[in-house]
Structure 1
Amino acid sequence: MNFDEFTGEIQHRLELPGTGETVRAIRATLTTLGERIPEGNAEDLAASLPMEIKWYPTGAVHEHGQRFDWSEFVGRVAEREGIERQEAAYHAQVIVDLVAAQVPASDLQQLRDQLPEAQDDENWGKLFAVVDAGGWQESAT
C-alpha cells in the first residue's frame, strides 16, 4: 500500500474532510505510539508502512520508550491532532487497525508486548479494539 492509498483509506474510514486532517491524525497517533515503544520496535513496526508514514513513529520521535498510560496516550494524540479525547481514541484505534493490516503479525505482537500495562490496565486493550473485533468493516447503508 502506498502513501495515497494509506491516507485515502484512513480518510474514508474516519470520514475526514481532507488530506491535511488525515495526515494530522496519522502523524498524531504514530508519533505518540513511537514515543511509547522502544526505538527498535518502532522501526520494526514502521518498516512495512509507506515511506512517507514510517517517519512518524521513528524519526519524528525525540525519545522512545517513554512510560505513560492509556490516558496520557490519548491526551497526547488529542493535543497533536487538535481534537477531543474521545475522538482521538477512536482515530488511534482505526489507524492501528490499518497499520495492523500492513505489518507482519510478529510486529503487531511485538507492539502489544511493549504495552505491559495491558495486563494491569485494560484501557491499553482499547487501542486494539478494532483489530480484535476482526478489523474495520464498512457499515452497510
Structure 2
Amino acid sequence: MQHDAFIGQVQARARLDSRGAAEAFTRATLETVAERINPDLADDLAAQLPQEIGENVRRVTDQYDPTERFGQDEFVDRVAVRAHADRSQASFAARAVFEVLDDATTNVMPKVRGGLPEDLRRFTLAGSSGGT
C-alpha cells in the first residue's frame, strides 16, 4: 500500500476531517506501538509500510527502549498526547490505524499483537467502530 492510500484509509476509517489529522494519528499510533514491541519486530513492521510511515516506527526504536510495559489505557493516553487530541478521539483513530495496518501488511500484525498484553491486544482487534 502506498503512503497516500494508507493515510487516506486512516482518514476515512477514523472519520477525520483532514489528511494532516490522519498523518498525526498514524504517527502517534506507530510511535506508541514501537515503544511497546521488540526492536526486531518493529523493524519487520516498518519494512512492510511505506517508507514515510515506517520511519515513525524506526525513529522510536532508534531512540528508546522499545520494550516498555504498558496496557491499553497508557497506550491511548500516549497516542492522545502525541496527536494533541482527547482520549476518545485517540482511541477511535488508533483503532482505525490498526485496521489499515492489517490491510497494509502481511503476517506481521499477529506477531505484533502477540507481544502485547491482553487488554491492548483486544483493543487492536476491536476496529474503529468499537467503543473506548
Q: TM-score range by the shorter chain?
A: 0.7 to 0.9
Q: CA deviation at 1:84?
A: 1.1
Question: Contact (CA 8 Å) 1:89, 1:127: kept in 2 or not?
Answer: no
Aligned to 1:19: 19
Which amino acid counterpart does residue 97 of structure 1 have in structure 2?
Answer: E
Q: CA deviation at 1:15?
A: 2.1
Following superposition, the deviation at residue 123 of structure 1 comes to 4.9
Q: Confirm whether residue 10 of structure 1 aligns to residue 10 of structure 2.
A: yes
Paired letter, 1:92: A
Instruction: Give the 3 Å change call, closer, same or farther, for CA 124–110 of structure 1 in structure 2.
Output: closer
Report runs of 4+ in structure 1 exceeding 3 Å deviation. none
Answer whether contact 1:28 1:80 (CA < 8 A) is retained: yes
- The 3-state SS of whatever aligns with 2:70 is coil
Q: Which amino acid aligns with 2:30?
A: L
Q: Distance in 2 between matches of 1:98 and 1:123?
A: 17
Q: Rate the CA distance shift 1:112–1:123 in 2: closer, same or farther, 3 A.
A: closer
Cα distance between partner residues in 2 of 1:58 and 1:18: 25
Q: 1:66 to 1:123 in 2, by over 3 A?
A: closer
Show CA shifts across 1:94-140 (max 9, x none).
101110111112x112111111x21xxx354112112xxxx98xxxx
Structure 2 counterpart SS, 1:79: helix
Preserved contact between residue 6 and residue 104 of structure 2 (Cα < 8 Å): no
Q: Which amino acid in structure 2 is aligned with residue 73 of structure 1?
A: F
Aligned to 1:39: 39
Residue 5 of structure 1, CA deviation? 1.1
CA–CA separation in structure 2 for the residues paired with 1:20 and 1:71: 24
Deviations 1:53-83 (A, max 9, x none): 0011122442111111211111000111111
Aligned pairs for 1:75-114 (under 5 A) are 75-105=77-107, 107-114=108-115
Equivalences, count? 127
Within the alignment, does 1:127 sit opposite 2:124 as a pair?
yes
Distance in 2 (alpha carbons) for counterparts of 1:11 and 1:18: 7
Runs of at least 5 residues in structure 1 that lack an aligned partner in the other structure = 137-141
Larger radius of gyration: 1
Query: What letter is aligned with 1:22?
Result: A
**Which TM-score applies when normalising by structure 2?**
0.88
Q: What is the distance in 2 between the residues matched to 1:102 and 1:51?
A: 13
Specify whether residues 86 and 58 from structure 1 end up closer, same or farther in structure 2 by C-alpha distance, changes over 3 A only. Answer: same
Identity of aligned residues (%): 31
